[in-house]
C-alpha cells in the first residue's frame, strides 16, 4: 500500500497559485492528455536547433500556449528550455558569423523540355532577417542565463584555480623527489 502512495506522489506535478499574496504549491496529477516525454524531448531538440518556440511546438505536436504554460509550471522543463535556447542562440550567432565572414552562393539551373540549359541563376546568401529577429528577441534572456550559469563555475584562469594547480604540481614534484623518480 505504501508503494502505491509513493508512486502516486512521484506522478504529482507542482502547480503554483497565489493566495493572500503568497505563493503556495498545490500538487496535482498530470493530465492524461498532457505532454509525453517524447513530445518534450522533441520540443527541446527543435528549440535548440531553431531557437523558435512556434516551430518547436509545431514539430512536437503541441500548442505554443501549452509550451509556455508548461514552462511556467515545471521548473525542470523551464531549465531545459533555457539550456535549449542557449544552444539555439549560439547556433544562430555562429551561422550569422559564418555568413558575414564567408557568405554563401548557390547556382540554380533551369532546363528546357529537351534538357538543354535554359537559364542559370546565382543565389547569394540567406535571408538573415529571421536570424536577426530571433537574436534580438532572445538576446537579454540568453545573456542572463549564461551569466547565471557561469556564476556557479570558476574560470580556469582564476587565481584560486591557478593556486590549486600549482599546489598539486608542487605535491607531485615532492613525491617524485622523495621516491627518486
| Neighbouring C-beta atoms of residue 152, cutoff 10 Å | 6
Q: Which three cell numbers stand for residue 107?
A: 547556382
Is residue 132 within 8 A of residue 75, CB to CB? The reply is no
The closest alpha carbon to 103, from 127, 123, 124, 129, belongs to 124
In the chain, the N- to C-terminal Cα span, in Å, equals 63
C-alpha cell recorded at residue 141: 534572456
pLDDT tens per residue, range 2-59? 444 444 444 444 555 555 566 666 666 655 658 999 999 999 999 999 889 999 999 9
Residue corresponding to grid cell 598539486? 168
Phi, psi of 53 (to 5 degrees): -65, -40
Q: What is the pLDDT of residues 80-123, one digit of tens each?
A: 999 999 898 888 888 877 776 677 777 888 888 888 888 888 87
Q: Provide the β-strand partners of residue 28.
A: 13
d(CA 160, CA 162): 5
Helix (H) or strand (E) holding 133: helix 129-151
Specify the residue for cell string 529537351: 114
pLDDT at 5: 41
pTM exceeding the 0.75 threshold for the entire prediction: no
Amino acid at each position: 500500500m505504501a508503494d502505491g502512495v509513493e508512486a502516486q506522489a512521484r506522478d504529482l506535478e507542482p502547480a503554483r497559485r497565489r493566495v493572500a499574496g503568497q505563493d503556495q504549491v498545490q500538487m496535482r496529477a498530470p493530465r492524461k492528455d498532457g505532454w509525453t516525454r517524447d513530445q518534450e524531448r522533441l520540443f527541446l531538440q527543435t528549440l535548440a536547433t531553431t531557437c523558435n518556440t512556434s516551430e518547436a511546438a509545431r514539430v512536437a505536436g503541441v500548442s505554443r500556449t501549452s509550451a509556455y504554460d508548461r514552462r511556467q509550471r515545471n521548473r525542470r522543463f523551464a531549465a531545459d528550455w533555457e539550456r535549449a535556447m542557449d544552444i539555439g542562440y549560439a547556433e544562430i550567432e555562429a551561422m550569422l558569423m559564418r555568413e558575414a565572414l564567408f557568405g554563401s552562393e548557390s547556382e540554380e539551373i533551369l532546363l528546357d523540355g529537351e534538357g538543354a540549359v535554359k537559364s542559370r541563376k546565382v543565389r547569394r546568401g540567406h535571408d538573415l532577417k529571421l536570424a536577426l529577429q530571433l537574436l534580438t528577441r532572445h538576446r537579454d534572456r540568453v545573456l542572463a542565463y549564461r551569466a547565471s550559469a557561469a556564476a556557479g563555475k570558476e574560470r580556469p584562469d582564476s587565481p584560486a584555480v591557478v593556486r590549486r594547480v600549482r599546489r598539486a604540481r608542487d605535491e607531485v614534484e615532492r613525491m617524485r623527489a622523495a621516491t627518486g623518480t
